Amino acid sequence: MPKSSAGKLNGAKRTGNASSNPDRTPTAKAKAGAPNVRSKATINRLNMYRTKVKRSKKGAIVKGGLAVGQTVKDMKAARVQPDRRWFGNTRVVGQAELQDFREQVEKTTADPYAVLLRRHKLPMGLLASGGTKKGRVDLLRAESYSSVFGRKQQRKRPKLPTAEIEELVQKATASHDKYDEATDSNLERAIEAIGPRNYIFDAGQSRRIRAELFKVIDSSDVIIEVLDARDPMGTRAPHAEHFIKKEASHKHVVFLLNKCDLVPTRVTAAWLKVLSKEAPTLAFHASITNPFGKGALINLLRQFAKLHSDKKQVSVGFIGYPNVGKSSVINTLKKKKVCKVAPIPGETKVWQYITLMKSIYLIDCPGTVQPSGNSEEEAVLKGVVRIEQLRHAEDYIEELLKRIKPEYVTRTYGIAMWSDHVDFLEQYGTRIGKLLKGGEPDTNAAAKLVLHDWQRGRLPYFVAPPDFEERGSKAAAAPEKSPLAANFPLPVRKQKLTGMLLAHEFVDEDAGEDDDDGVDADDAEGEGEEVEGEEESEEEEEEEQSDEDDEEEGDAGPVSAVEAAEVASAVHFGKAASAKAASAKSASAKAAQAQGVTAVSKVSAASKSASLSGSGAKRKAEAQAAPTGGAVSWEDVFDEL
């Protein structure tokens, strides 16, 4: 064995002045401080890159190859486990099986109600069809220059999409029928230049807002698009949906119909059936004290957290138009004010994280609007623009009056008839005292008040879904199920809409019959379920309150119907003072009962819904008295309420 190799293996220093020896004796040039002399660390690093095998005189490997560190490992003979499986048939995946599996994966990813588990462990780049980019075709190889141009050019038959003249005529006729001159971008049109476009109509379209939207999409595992139940299709964000479907198809999208208390129940049910074909859809009413759909939404988020149990937490992003209630939904889920809210668009400026549970985080996003997607009237009536910034607010009242039924306008403002929107504003301005100098009504100020009522939901209005009358009938056909849902049926769960309190009283044409069937939803297992860390439900509190009242009044003898109804209504609406006053009238009520004068006060359903919704004295219905011949028990009174 060479002396240098033996010295290295024994741990001694190598001798010699070779450039690959880190222990070489420095020369006079190196001692003088020459800059190009290799240091010891540099020599060791360069030696590490050399993998060539070095052998001794006897042929033993000294360095490189099988040498690990500075020692040589003795290789033992490798043996294969004697197993019959090595000699049996093996499973081979061919192109047919791979294509079948690729089709199944595409169906699963396209189904909004199916979740592809362990996505990161699958080679999605190989399974996705059509994902490879085609390179540029080299035309000179296919057709040389001399064969196309010059004396030796070859005349080729032109490539036509059809083989026969009749087929060409049919195709030209079909394209002519589909042609629309209004959508042709190649035509020159005269632009009606009324004046410069006001910057306030570009709200929600800035680069900063779009950057906030993309940050929320990138940071979220589940994306909830909040829609206004009055106009769900008009408040959708198609540009964001297209981006999610193309660039982030692995993220879950859920539609949330907020402000369902402003539309009839059957309209909400019809929209749920329409939107549920594209993505899971839930009805919701954002309110900290009296919410609707809170339990269904939290159950859905818990299901997503269980499906992604490999992650430490699941982030849920809320996107949508301005003033649709994204921050209000988060406050409802937290049961306290954690996001700044206001009945005006653009209150949320930047995105923010909120912790809902240990494994679920919520992300609030500013409202975004698709660029050049709305006219000025649509931008104002969709709640995108702040009303106080409008210069001529009366210009948008004409379109507003076209969308609302005259019955609702008369009931809200007390104006029976009007010729046009200007006449309506003059009557309304005179009625509320908005006058200018000389006693002329201020139509601009009156128009802003009407637009404020429109944005805040004080005017009954909704957009009916397509085929609304057919969908409202009981004989409507059931929606088609996806192939995956047909092969693997799951237990059907429905979100009941019967417990939702409406803020308006609609006419019979809009309200229709109550639909108690509900809507299919995988996530709506039970309304009113408690969230971790919350207090008792309102129903349990009402039951405890009724039990306490039973114990207090148990020793007072028989209670008359009038007294029972008055005390029960006072307790139900939380008026302790009224309850005491009603108890004080028991003596006079008993005397009246002894004389044979009895009456039962029944509270109608209209008064109940109006009182619970907090509409005030305007919507209190008069109690209808029905004479009966006996006393009423507490259970009957509470059932009636």
Instruction: Kindly write down the DSSP assignment for every residue of 456-486, as one continuous string.
Output: TT-S---PPPTTHHHHHSTTPPPPPPPHHHH
Q: To 10 degrees, the CA torsion angle through 426, 431, 432, 434?
A: 40
Question: 184-188, 247-251, 267-271: which range is least confident on average?
Answer: 184-188
Determine the 3-state secondary structure of 71 from DSSP: strand
pLDDT 10s digits, 9-27: 444 566 777 888 888 887 7
CA distance 155 to 553: 107
Cα-to-chain-centroid distance, residue 276 = 13
The reported pLDDT for the residue numbered 213 is: 92
The CB-side HSE value for 215 (13 A sphere, CA atoms) comes to: 14
Q: Kindly tell me if the per-residue pLDDT of 411 is higher than 60.
A: yes
Residues 6+ apart with CB under 8 A from 464: 267, 270
Question: 344-353, 411-420, 533-542: which range is least confident on average?
Answer: 533-542
CA distance 420 to 413: 15
The reported pLDDT for the residue numbered 96 is: 86
Residue 486 confidence class, pLDDT cut points 50, 70, 90 = low
326 near 320, Cβ under 8 Å?
yes
pLDDT 10s digits, 67-106: 545 555 566 777 888 887 777 777 777 888 888 888 887 7
Nearest to 263 by CA among 467, 463, 451: 463
Q: Kindly tell me if the per-residue pLDDT of 618 is higher than 60.
A: no
The reported pLDDT for the residue numbered 228 is: 92
Q: Which residues pair with 457 in a beta bridge?
A: none
Residue 481 confidence class, pLDDT cut points 50, 70, 90 = low
- 127 or 466, which is more confident? 466
Determine the 3-state secondary structure of 599 from DSSP: coil
Q: What token pair was written down for 407?
A: 């019955």
The reported pLDDT for the residue numbered 447 is: 92
Regarding pTM above 0.85, the answer is no
CA distance 613 to 292: 12
The reported pLDDT for the residue numbered 114 is: 79
The reported pLDDT for the residue numbered 253 is: 93
CA distance 297 to 304: 11
Q: Kindly tell me if the per-residue pLDDT of 551 is higher than 60.
A: no
Q: Kindly tell me if the per-residue pLDDT of 557 is higher than 70.
A: no
Q: Which residues pair with 285 in a beta bridge?
A: 292
Determine the 3-state secondary structure of 20 from DSSP: coil
Provide the residue type at 627 as one letter.
Answer: P
CA distances from 454 to 201, 248, 395, 406, 620 (A): 18, 36, 15, 14, 23
User: What is the average per-residue pLDDT within 215-233?
Assistant: 93
Question: 52-66, 143-157, 504-518, 567-581: which range is least confident on average?
Answer: 567-581
Nearest to 502 by CA among 623, 608, 641: 608
Q: Which residues of 466-499 are buried (b: 16+ CB within 10 A; e: fewer)?
A: eeeeebbeeeeeeeeeeebeeeeeeeebebbbee
Q: What token pair was written down for 637?
A: 């009174």
Residue 146 confidence class, pLDDT cut points 50, 70, 90 = confident
Nearest to 485 by CA among 110, 117, 224, 128: 110
Average pLDDT across the chain, whole number: 72
CA distances from 179 to 162, 175, 183, 454 (A): 20, 6, 8, 38
Residue 331 confidence class, pLDDT cut points 50, 70, 90 = very high
CA distance 569 to 577: 12
CA distance 82 to 475: 67
Q: What token pair was written down for 608?
A: 């109940």
Residue 232 confidence class, pLDDT cut points 50, 70, 90 = very high
Q: Kindly tell me if the per-residue pLDDT of 620 is higher than 60.
A: no
CA distances from 266 to 270, 458, 465, 592, 637 (A): 6, 20, 11, 45, 29
- 636 or 138, which is more confident? 138
Q: Which residues of 4-20 are buried (b: 16+ CB within 10 A; e: fewer)?
A: bbebbbeeeebeeeeee
Question: 258-262, 267-271, 358-362, 566-570: which range is least confident on average?
Answer: 566-570
The reported pLDDT for the residue numbered 144 is: 78
Residue 605 confidence class, pLDDT cut points 50, 70, 90 = very low
CA distance 497 to 281: 13
Determine the 3-state secondary structure of 337 from DSSP: coil
CA distances from 582 to 577, 621, 622 (A): 9, 20, 18
DSSP 8-state class, residue 254: E
User: Cβ of 302: how many Cβ atoms within 10 Å?
Assistant: 18
Q: Give me the phi and psi of 625, to 5 degrees please.
A: -95, 130
Q: What token pair was written down for 299?
A: 């159950």
525 near 518, Cβ under 8 Å?
no
460 near 451, Cβ under 8 Å?
no
pLDDT 10s digits, 363-402: 999 988 877 667 788 888 888 888 888 888 888 999 999 9
- 425 or 68, which is more confident? 425
Residue 254 confidence class, pLDDT cut points 50, 70, 90 = very high
Q: Top-level CATH class of 201-364?
A: alpha beta
